[in-house]
């Protein structure tokens, strides 16, 4: 641990959002009033489909976008009306936005220069950060002479060299190829563990969210669907939207009807016993469905449509009462060429959602 790590850890500030709204006009409300608190030093991933307002939220925290109402507090300070430079945030952009006419050193030192730091101190700071990110040999190069991953590191270096209280990332990995994205993800996680800056990371990639986040904030049309740890979000999704957004392949959602003692599929087959009446949506993860098992619950018949062998596992797509259900099975399981499968839905793995609102109904099958 060197001086920069300690300084950033000390500077890490919480972010509190109170009744924050963004509307371009009364008809186009991007973010309805939002309340959320991001703890100091926490890595928060803001996850959602494009157009859900996640980038707008980030830009409002950064000060690049005006707020339409409400408050943003960084630490104890109200910042929603301050200029970006007075907020103590640093940002890494999707296209890196490095200054093409400046060397790597000048790019990283620019904010320090603007802040009026002495030249020797500037050089010292940049050198420390460059060393931490493995950029020491590239300081004299222009961004155009660097690879995608190196540019990414320069952008991160430019952000952390100021020892900001808050580090903001706007889909920083989406311009990289798959292998590099994987490597950078690990580097980012490692960096966060070392410097402990309060981090807000915007992405539409659920894998990035699951692997990087302390907590994931899932947005849907500007509203918070769920804000919890990756584990809780995966195992206890708060709504159908979250259930479908997380996991690859995502959770299966089936319409079911309760007759007072059991839940029935559209074709009348019983999937579980529960003292419920009315329409519901039933969720189960692909890996939780048991093929040909005789576990608890009831066995249902399904027609196999197709299978994809992925090496580590196979994904089966079956037709169950008119809905396509995906099942993850061990690779090479003996189900070849059969047209009909017997499925078991273990009750402890079922999720029940309200048919109208899509919100989860916790405890519907006893303790979970």
How many alpha carbons lie under 13 Å from residue 5 in its C-beta half-sphere?
11
Q: How far is the CB of 39 from another protein (least distance, A)?
A: 23
Which residue, 11 or 325, is less far from another protein as judged by CB? 11
Q: How far is the CB of 170 from another protein (least distance, A)?
A: 8
- DSSP letter, residue 251: P
Q: How far is the CB of 168 from another protein (least distance, A)?
A: 8
Q: How far is the CB of 214 from another protein (least distance, A)?
A: 23
Q: How far is the CB of 172 from another protein (least distance, A)?
A: 12
Q: How far is the CB of 320 from another protein (least distance, A)?
A: 47
Which residue, 142 or 223, is less far from another protein as judged by CB? 142
Using CA of residue 193, residue 153, residue 52, residue 241, what is the dihedral sign? negative
Which residue, 103 or 368, is less far from another protein as judged by CB? 103
Evaluate whether 118 touches 89 at the Cβ level (below 8 Å): no
Which residue, 66 or 305, is less far from another protein as judged by CB? 66
> CA 223, CA 30: separation in Å to the nearest integer?
9
Evaluate whether 257 touches 263 at the Cβ level (below 8 Å): yes
Instruction: Give residues in contact with another protein (CB under 8 A).
Output: 62-64, 83-85, 89-91, 93-95, 97-101, 110-111, 114-115, 142-144, 158, 162
> CA 235, CA 43: separation in Å to the nearest integer?
20
Which residue, 95 or 348, is less far from another protein as judged by CB? 95
Which residue, 117 or 335, is less far from another protein as judged by CB? 117
- Residue closest to 303 by CA, chosen among 338, 268, 333, 329: 338
- H helices of the chain, in order, are 3-11, 54-62, 104-114, 119-132, 148-160, 178-195, 206-212, 230-235, 240-245
Lookup: tokens for 352: 């029940």
Q: What is the DSSP string of 167-195?
A: EEEESTTTTS-HHHHHHHHHHHHHHHHHH
> CA 283, CA 256: separation in Å to the nearest integer?
10
- Residue closest to 226 by CA, chosen among 242, 212, 240: 242
Q: How far is the CB of 122 from another protein (least distance, A)?
A: 13
């Amino acid at each position: 641990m060197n001086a920069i790590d300690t300084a950033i850890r000390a500077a890490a500030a919480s972010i509190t959002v109170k009744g924050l709204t963004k509307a371009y006009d009364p008809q186009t409300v991007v973010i309805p009033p939002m309340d959320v608190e991001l703890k100091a030093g926490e890595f928060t991933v803001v996850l959602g489909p494009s157009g859900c307002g996640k980038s707008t939220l980030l830009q409002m925290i950064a000060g690049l976008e005006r707020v339409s109402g409400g408050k943003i507090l960084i630490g104890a300070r109200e910042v929603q009306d301050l200029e970006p430079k007075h907020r103590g945030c640093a940002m890494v952009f999707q296209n890196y936005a490095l200054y093409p006419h400046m060397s790597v050193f000048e790019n990283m030192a620019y904010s320090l220069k603007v802040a009026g730091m002495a030249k020797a101190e500037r050089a010292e700071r940049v050198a420390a950060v460059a060393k931490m990110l493995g950029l020491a040999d590239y300081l004299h190069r222009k961004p155009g002479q660097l690879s995608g991953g190196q540019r990414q590191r320069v952008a991160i270096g430019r952000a952390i060299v100021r020892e900001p209280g808050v580090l903001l990332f706007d889909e920083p990995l989406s311009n990289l190829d798959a292998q590099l994205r994987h490597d950078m993800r690990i580097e980012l996680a490692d960096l966060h563990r070392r410097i402990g800056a309060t981090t807000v990371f915007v992405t539409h990639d659920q894998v990035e969210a699951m692997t990087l986040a302390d907590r994931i904030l899932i947005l849907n049309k500007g509203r918070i669907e769920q804000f919890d740890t990756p584990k809780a979000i995966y195992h206890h999704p708060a709504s159908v939207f979250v259930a479908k957004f997380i996991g690859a392949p995502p959770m299966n959602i089936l319409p079911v009807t309760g007759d007072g003692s059991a839940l029935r599929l559209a074709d009348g087959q019983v999937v579980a016993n529960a003292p419920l009446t009315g329409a519901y949506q039933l969720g189960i993860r692909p890996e939780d469905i048991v093929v040909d098992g005789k576990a608890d619950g009831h066995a249902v018949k399904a027609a196999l449509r197709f299978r994809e062998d992925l090496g580590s596992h196979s994904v089966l797509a079956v037709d169950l009462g008119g809905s396509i259900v995906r099942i993850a099975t061990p690779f090479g399981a003996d189900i070849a060429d059969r047209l009909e499968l017997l499925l078991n839905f273990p009750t402890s793995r079922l999720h029940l959602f309200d048919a109208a609102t899509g919100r989860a109904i916790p405890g519907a099958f006893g303790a979970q």
